[in-house]
Amino acid sequence: MPDVLSLARFQFAMTTVFHFFFVPLSIGLGVCVSVMETRYCMTGDVRYKQLTKFWGKMLILSFAVGVVTGIIQEFQFGMNWSDYSRFVGDIFGAPLAIEALLSFFLESTFLGVWMFSWEKVSKKTHCLFIWLVTIGSTLSALWILTANSFMQHPEGFEIINGRAQMVDFGAVISNPQVWYEFGHVIFAALTLAAFFIMGSSAINIIKKKEVDFYKKSMKTVAIIAIIGAMGTAGVGDLQARALVKDQPLKFAAMEGIYKDTPDPAPWAVLSNINTEKRESEPIIEVPYLLSILSYHKLSGSVRGMDSVTKEFQSKYGDLDYNLPVKTMFYSFRVMAGFGGIFVLMSIIALIGIKKNKIENWKVFLKLMGICTFLPWFATSTGWLITELGRYPWTVYGLFTIADSVSPNVTAGQLLFTNIVYFGLFTILGGVMVYLMVRQFKKGPFADENNLTAENVDPFGYKGV
């Protein structure tokens, strides 16, 4: 049987990955639906109202599942990671409390109000409700990422009686890592939600189902997709440059570098990595590119894992600094590669929609249909890099993972709860997919008080 620490780490990783399937979708859909309803208020065009109602149903479904998995995730701090909670609770608790008491209640309350107030308040008031939902979900992300950023780059604290205690709340929230993570997550959420809409719309256009409705959906969010994809890449570049200084071991593992690079440093597209011999041999590399990515100039060497490990052994002691190099190396390239694909696909989509020829681009629509699912792979690989690269610490340079696990939890208990959670997540995911597929099959007009495409179709026109 695996040990307690391995089971606890697996449980938190499983919960986090599953939870983050829905968080960026909810955040991004909130923005997309808010834009759709704003367009309805500005133009009075009923087509935007139908877009808002249909995609709003997808927002409600993703929000509901995200709440359940988020609650389970926070419970684990007390159940499996109590020593960690004791060490950092005075700091970690503040942003999580603000998130729960302010941001979460803001988004959940006004989501309920928005759902049940159609035709009961003015258009502008109703539009305000969905924007408050979007603001609340964005603020929730900010406070949760504030807590996570302290784990990545602790600031604004002192160690008192063996515990980290906050002495400067301003330093905690102004931590540069907060804003790198926040920007990266928000832009990624916009990308994911926009591609969810465009990809599923492409699938329905191929099937010749409500073609005008789904073309309008694609047109409305194409700009959001471009902003999200390019913003994700831009903030990701800033975050990677910060890692060179703040987490050099993580950065070296992302690049598969064991020895210090020459100056200028080439970037390895693919490498043959031997973790046992601690060697890597580039298969394909681009001259100068790693120096450009690291320092934004044509010169500069990058430290390898061997030299960083020696420094850490001298500074922090003889800990296990062996990261899962292959996982991090290829996760980074999957994430970056998909990011480039998203930029290209969103630009092509916008061109096709502007020319009113998108329904004739069969190959592109099939590729866009595949892109419905790719952003989830990209966001998951991003979190693998973020969390695996912090090993062996829960709080970087201060508190190790081995010291964080609850002392009284047994392997049998964790194995049981892992099985229960996996079963629960499988059921929730299955229900979520079933309900979304059912909604797509019913179509965008089926539930609107007998409003159907056959009798009152606001999309009964040619083109967009």
DSSP bridge pairs for 267: 286
Whole-prediction pTM value? 0.91
Please state, in angstroms and rounded to a whole number, the distance separating the CA atoms of residues 84 and 404.
4
Q: Please, what is the end-to-end C-alpha distance for the chain in angstroms?
A: 59
Answer yes or no: are the C-beta atoms of 234 and 374 closer than 8 Å.
Answer: no
Q: What is the pLDDT of residue 458?
A: 52
Answer yes or no: are the C-beta atoms of 227 and 187 closer than 8 Å.
Answer: yes
Give kind and range of the element (H or E) at residue 442: helix 411-442
Per-residue pLDDT of 159-180, as tens digits, reads 998 899 999 999 999 999 999 9
Whose CA is closest to 35, among 233, 230, 227?
227
Q: Could you check whether the bond before residue 282 is cis, i.e. omega within 30 degrees of 0? A: no
Whose CA is closest to 177, among 156, 159, 162?
156
Section 209-213 average pLDDT? 90
Answer yes or no: are the C-beta atoms of 271 and 304 closer than 8 Å.
Answer: no
Q: What is the pLDDT of residue 448?
A: 56
Percent helix / strand / coil, the chain, rounded to 5: 70, 5, 25
Per-residue pLDDT of 237-283, as tens digits, reads 999 999 999 999 999 999 999 999 999 999 999 999 999 889 999 99
How far apart, in Å, are the Cα atoms of 393 and each of 172, 314, 350, 401, 416?
A: 19, 16, 44, 5, 26
Whose CA is closest to 385, among 245, 230, 190, 249?
249
Please state, in angstroms and rounded to a whole number, the distance separating the CA atoms of residues 266 and 290.
5
Section 420-429 average pLDDT? 90
For the chain, give every domain's residue range. Answer: 4-244+326-448
Q: What is the pLDDT of residue 459?
A: 52
